[in-house]
DNA sequence: AATTGTTTAGAGCCAC
DNA sequence: GTGGCTCTAAACAATT
C-alpha cells in the first residue's frame, strides 16, 4: 500500500521527503533563523510560541520544532494586493494560517482569523490567502520558484480524514454534502487525493459511517440521487479544539444508542428527536471529562439510515438544507437553532448549524468566510494547494476551509491570541490536548 | 455494474 | 502496558 505520507505528521522522513529540502525554510529567512527551526527538515514543532504575529516581525520562536512546512509565515505577505481568497479575508492573520487553539472560539483550521491580512500572499498581483499548505508562499513572493515546489503539491495534507470531512461539511453552504461531493471537495483542494482514490475514499466512507460525529441525512423526495447527505452531528462541535487536525482531542460519540425506534435508527441519528443528553460531544468540558468507552457500533440493522418515512415529512423538507435544519432543530433544542426553516434557508447566517458552529467549531466556515460570500465563493475563492502554491493553472477549485475569512465578532484575536502555539504544535507536531 | 454505506480487523502512533 | 484515535483493507449489503 502506498501510503504515502503518514498522516499524523510524525513521519519525519516522509515529510522531509516532501518538504525537506524544500524551503527549508531558509527562505523564511529571519523567521527560520533564530527560530531554531529545525533540524527536522521542515518538520518543526513549536512550543511556546506566543504570538505568531511575532513571526512576521521576526518573532521569536524558539524552542521546539514546528513544522514550518505547512506554515504560512505571516507577515511576509503583501498587504496591498487584492485578496482573491476568501471573502472576508480581510482578516487574516499572520501565521494565522493556522488556527491556534480552537478553543479560542472557533478558529479556522488553516486559516487565520484575525483581523489583519498579514497572511495574504501575493501571486502576480493577486493575493491569496495561504492555506496552511501554502506556507511556501511567502518564499515565493520573495524568491523565484524553485524546483522543490513540485514536491509540495502532492504532499499528503496534515489532516485526518475526519478533519477533512469536517472541513468539507463546514464549508458547504447547506452544511451537508453527499459522499461524492465530499470526495470532490477533498480532491479539489488537495491534489494529493487525486491519486489512489479507491484507498482514501474507502477510508472516507469508513470514517463517515464509523464516527458518530457524522450523521446521514436522507435525501428529500425532490432531490433524488444516490446516497444520502452527510452532515456534522450538531453536538460534535469542538472536536479539534486542541488545534490538531490530525487527531481529535476526543472522539465524538453518542454514548447512548439505546433509544432505537422500530425503524432501527439510533438516538443520535439525524431525525432523532431524543434529547441531546443522549449524546456526548466534545463541546462541553463536562462531557469530555468522562468519556464512555465507545460501544461497538450498533449492528447494521440498528443503524439504518434515516428513511423518508422516518424523517420529517418530505413535504416539510423541501431541501436538504431544511432537512438538517429541522432535524437538528429537533435534536438540539437547546442550541441556538432557528426554527424558521425558510428564513434560515434564505439567510445562511441564520442557519442553525451556522449558529451552532459559529462560536465553537474549529472548522466553522462561518469564521472563515462571511455568510453571504460563502456560497458564492464556495468554489472560487479557495485554491487548491498547488494553485496557492503557485503551481496551478486552472481555475480556483474548492473553497473553503483553508481560506481565511473574517472572524466572528467574538473571535477577534489579536496577533498573540491567534498565534497560539498549541496549534502549531498540535497540527504539525502532535496534538496538544488542551491548550487552556 | 457502480456507487454508497456498514462492519470487522489489524496496525501504527501517541498519551497517560 | 493500555487505551484511544486514525488509517487501511476488505467483505458484504443496499441502492441507483
Residue A231 (CA) to nucleotide C1 (C1'), in angstroms, measures 37
The Cα angle at residue A426 between residues A422 and A431, in degrees rounded to 5:
115
Q: Please tell me the pTM assigned to this model.
A: 0.51
Residue A213 (CA) to nucleotide B12 (C1'), in angstroms, measures 23
List chain C nucleotides near protein: any atom < 7 Å from a Cβ: 3-11, 15-16
A271-288: b (≥16 Cβ within 10 Å) or e: bbebebebbbbbbeeebb
pLDDT tens column, A252-291: 766 544 433 333 333 344 433 333 333 433 433 333 333 3
At A232, give phi and psi (nearest 5°): -85, 140
| Mean pLDDT of the A171-184 span | 91
Residue A332's closest CA among A382, A283, A365? A283
Residue A84 burial by CB count (10 A; 0-12/13-18/19+): exposed, middle or buried?
Answer: buried
Of A189 and A255, more confident: A189
Residue A58 (CA) to nucleotide C2 (C1'), in angstroms, measures 43
pLDDT of residue A319: 43
Q: Give yes or no for a contact between A113 and A418, defined as CB atoms under 8 angstroms apart.
A: yes
Query: What residues are paired with A122 via a beta bridge?
Result: A127
List chain B nucleotides near protein: any atom < 7 Å from a Cβ: 3-9, 12-16
Using a 7 A cutoff on CB, list residues near strand C: A 1-4, 7-8, 159-162, 199-200, 202-203, 205-207, 211, 224-227, 239, 246-248, 250-251, 291, 293-294
Range ranked top by mean pLDDT from A157-161, A409-413, A419-423: A157-161
Residue A218's closest CA among A286, A312, A332? A312
Quick one: cell of A57?
Answer: 516581525
Do the bridges between strand A82-83 and strand A126-129 make them parallel or antiparallel, or are there none, so unpaired? parallel
Residue A289 (CA) to nucleotide B4 (C1'), in angstroms, measures 35
Q: Which protein residue lies nearest to nucleotide B3, measured between its Cα and the C1' atom?
A: A226
Q: Give yes or no for a contact between A55 and A419, defined as CB atoms under 8 angstroms apart.
A: yes
Cβ neighbours for A84, distance < 8 A, ≥ 6 positions apart: A126, A127, A128, A381, A383, A396
Q: If pLDDT is split at 50, 70 and 90, which confidence band does A183 have? A: very high
pLDDT of residue A58: 33
pLDDT of residue A19: 36
Nearest nt (C1') to A200 (CA)? C8
Task: Name the 3-class secondary structure at A63.
Answer: coil
Q: Which protein residue lies nearest to nucleotide B14, measured between its Cα and the C1' atom?
A: A430
Distance from C-alpha of A260 to C-alpha of A331, rounded to nearest angstrom: 15
Q: Give yes or no for a contact between A382 and A84, defined as CB atoms under 8 angstroms apart.
A: no
Q: If pLDDT is split at 50, 70 and 90, which confidence band does A230 have? A: very high
Of A167 and A336, more confident: A167
Residue A205 (CA) to nucleotide B8 (C1'), in angstroms, measures 14
Quick one: cell of A105?
Answer: 472560539
pLDDT of residue A208: 95
Q: Which protein residue lies nearest to nucleotide C12, measured between its Cα and the C1' atom?
A: A300
| Helix H or strand E segment including A373 | helix A371-377
pLDDT of residue A246: 77
Residue A49 burial by CB count (10 A; 0-12/13-18/19+): exposed, middle or buried?
Answer: buried
pLDDT of residue A383: 53
List, as one string, the DSSP characters of A6-25.
-TTS--HHHHIIIIITTTTT
Quick one: cell of A120?
Answer: 495574504
pLDDT tens column, A397-417: 333 343 333 333 223 323 233
Residue A3 (CA) to nucleotide C10 (C1'), in angstroms, measures 17
Nearest nt (C1') to A251 (CA)? C5
pLDDT of residue A238: 66
Residue A167 (CA) to nucleotide C7 (C1'), in angstroms, measures 18
Distance from C-alpha of A396 to C-alpha of A132, rounded to nearest angstrom: 16
At A95, give phi and psi (nearest 5°): -55, -5
Q: If pLDDT is split at 50, 70 and 90, which confidence band does A150 have? A: low
Instruction: Please give the sequence-ordered ranges of beta strands (E in DSSP) within A116-188, or none if there are none.
Output: 120-123, 126-129, 176-178
Cα-based distances in Å from A108 to A53, A179, A272: 16, 23, 29
Distance from C-alpha of A39 to C-alpha of A43, rounded to nearest angstrom: 8
pLDDT of residue A236: 73
pLDDT of residue A276: 35
pLDDT of residue A184: 93
HSE value, Cβ hemisphere, 13 Å, CA-based, for A183: 17
pLDDT tens column, A89-136: 333 333 333 333 333 333 333 333 333 333 323 323 333 333 333 333
Distance from C-alpha of A199 to C-alpha of A182, rounded to nearest angstrom: 15
Residue A245 (CA) to nucleotide C7 (C1'), in angstroms, measures 14
List, as one string, the DSSP characters of A147-166.
TTHHHHHTPPPS--HHHHHH
pLDDT of residue A290: 34
Q: If pLDDT is split at 50, 70 and 90, which confidence band does A154 have? A: low
Distance from C-alpha of A243 to C-alpha of A48, rounded to nearest angstrom: 14
Query: What residues are paired with A177 via a beta bridge?
Result: A230
Amino acid at each position: 500500500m502506498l501510503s504515502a505520507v503518514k498522516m499524523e505528521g510524525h513521519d519525519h522522513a516522509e515529510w522531509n521527503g516532501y518538504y525537506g529540502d524544500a524551503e527549508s525554510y531558509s527562505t523564511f529567512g529571519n523567521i527560520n533563523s533564530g527560530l531554531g527551526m529545525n533540524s527536522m527538515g521542515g518538520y518543526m514543532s513549536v512550543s511556546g510560541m506566543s504570538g505568531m504575529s511575532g513571526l512576521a516581525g521576526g518573532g521569536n520562536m524558539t524552542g521546539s520544532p514546528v513544522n514550518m512546512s505547512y506554515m504560512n509565515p505571516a507577515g511576509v505577505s503583501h498587504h496591498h494586493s487584492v485578496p482573491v481568497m476568501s471573502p472576508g479575508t480581510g482578516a487574516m492573520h499572520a501565521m494565522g494560517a493556522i488556527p491556534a487553539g480552537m478553543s479560542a472560539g472557533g478558529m479556522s483550521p488553516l486559516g487565520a482569523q484575525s483581523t489583519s491580512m498579514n497572511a495574504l500572499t501575493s501571486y502576480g498581483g493577486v493575493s491569496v490567502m495561504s492555506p496552511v499548505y501554502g506556507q511556501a508562499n511567502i518564499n515565493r513572493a520573495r524568491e523565484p520558484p524553485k524546483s522543490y515546489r513540485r514536491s509540495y503539491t502532492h504532499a499528503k495534507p496534515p489532516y485526518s480524514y475526519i478533519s477533512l470531512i469536517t472541513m468539507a461539511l463546514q464549508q458547504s453552504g447547506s452544511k451537508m454534502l453527499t459522499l461524492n461531493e465530499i470526495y470532490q471537495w477533498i480532491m479539489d483542494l488537495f491534489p494529493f487525493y487525486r491519486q489512489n482514490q479507491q484507498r482514501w475514499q474507502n477510508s472516507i466512507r469508513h470514517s463517515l459511517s464509523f464516527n458518530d460525529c457524522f450523521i446521514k441525512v436522507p435525501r428529500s423526495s425532490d432531490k433524488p440521487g444516490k446516497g444520502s447527505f452527510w452532515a456534522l452531528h450538531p453536538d460534535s462541535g469542538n472536536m479539534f479544539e486542541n488545534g490538531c487536525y490530525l487527531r481529535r482531542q476526543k472522539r465524538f460519540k453518542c454514548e447512548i444508542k439505546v433509544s432505537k425506534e422500530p425503524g432501527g435508527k439510533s438516538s443520535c441519528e439525524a431525525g432523532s428527536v431524543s434529547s441531546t443528553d443522549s449524546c456526548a460531544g466534545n463541546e462541553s468540558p463536562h462531557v469530555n471529562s468522562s468519556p464512555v468507552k465507545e460501544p461497538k457500533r450498533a449492528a447494521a440493522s440498528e443503524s439504518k439510515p434515516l428513511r423518508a418515512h422516518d424523517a420529517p415529512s418530505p413535504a416539510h423538507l423541501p431541501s436538504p438544507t431544511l432537512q438538517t435544519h429541522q432535524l437538528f432543530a429537533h435534536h438540539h433544542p437547546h442550541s441556538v437553532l432557528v426554527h424558521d426553516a425558510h428564513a434560515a434557508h434564505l439567510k445562511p447566517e441564520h442557519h442553525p448549524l451556522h449558529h451552532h458552529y459559529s462560536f465553537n467549531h474549529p472548522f466553522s466556515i462561518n469564521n472563515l468566510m462571511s455568510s453571504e460570500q460563502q456560497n458564492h465563493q464556495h468554489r472560487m475563492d479557495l485554491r487548491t494547494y498547488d494553485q496557492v502554491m503557485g503551481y496551478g493553472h486552472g481555475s480556483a477549485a474548492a473553497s473553503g476551509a483553508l481560506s481565511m475569512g473574517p472572524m466572528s465578532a467574538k473571535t477577534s484575536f489579536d496577533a498573540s491570541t491567534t498565534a497560539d502555539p498549541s496549534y502549531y504544535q498540535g497540527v504539525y507536531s502532535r496534538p496538544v490536548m488542551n491548550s487552556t
